[in-house]
Structure 1
Amino acid sequence: MNTIEVLNNLKTEFPHQPMNLVWDGAPYHRSQITQDAAKELEINLQPLSAYSPDFMPVEHLW
């Protein structure tokens, strides 16, 4: 439910902006309820590749 709240907050902040979110593969990002909420809010969710260290600079510290 927190994820859906984030989507709602984003849409409230930027109601007229087209929105594309790149999210990791966390189960709550992939859930059907999240997918449905994003579609209803006209937010396009793009999955982040399974191994994408270039998109997360902290990965180089591990």
Structure 2
Amino acid sequence: MFQKRVDQVIEKMKTDGLKQILVSEPCSIYYLTGVDVGPGERLFALYLNDEGRKVLFLNTLFTV
């Protein structure tokens, strides 16, 4: 996880008045986490909230 990048996103969220976001673009998730998965049509998402909570959602077919 690239904590500095995630922190920058969270600060921008706060500036824009957002409490939470769901990132579902694999390239964006890779940029923020370093996790490189080609999910195809399967769910792959990163949840971020304004308190710093991070949750990565992915299918059990993938190992990270």
Quickly name the TM-score band, shorter chain normalised.
0.3 to 0.5
Structure that is richer in helix per residue? 1
Query: Which gives a bigger RCO, structure 1 or 2 (Cα 8 Å, sep 6+)?
Result: 1
Structure that is richer in strand per residue? 2
TM-score, length-normalised on structure 2? 0.34
TM-score, length-normalised on structure 1? 0.34
